Homo-oligomer: A and B are copies of this chain.
Amino acid sequence: MPEFHAQLRVRLRPGVLDPAGQAVAHSLKDLGFAAREVAVGKLLELTLPAPTAEAAEAEVRRMAAELLVNPVLEDFELEISAR
């Protein structure tokens, strides 16, 4: 069966408190950098076997729903590529 690489970019939803992002924003400011809207999210990557890219995407969306992403707090983008 072919294998696919999946990359999930998981972000906190707008309005959800992001203490890690705030800490980074403060540290950047202390260092003299002019950054704003700093956000810290997760980058999840994995390899999976699937008959087609469409099937791989559906499978990773199931993984997201069951484990990887908390839909109350998080949003995600998914990119599937052939290995």
A38 touches B46 (CB 8 A): yes
Which residues of the other chain, B, contact A49 by a CB distance below 8 angstroms?
34
Of B42, B45, B66, B68, which one neighbours A37 at CB under 8 angstroms? B45
* A2 interface residue per 8 A CB criterion: no
Residues of A within 8 A of B (CB): 9-11, 24-25, 27-28, 31, 33-49, 59, 62-63, 66-68
- Starting from the known contacts A24-B46, A35-B48, A38-B46, 18 additional A-B residue pairs (CB-CB under 8 Å) come to A10-B43, A11-B45, A27-B67, A28-B63, A33-B48, A33-B59, A33-B62, A35-B46, A35-B47, A35-B63, A36-B46, A36-B47, A36-B48, A37-B46, A37-B47, A38-B44, A39-B43, A41-B45
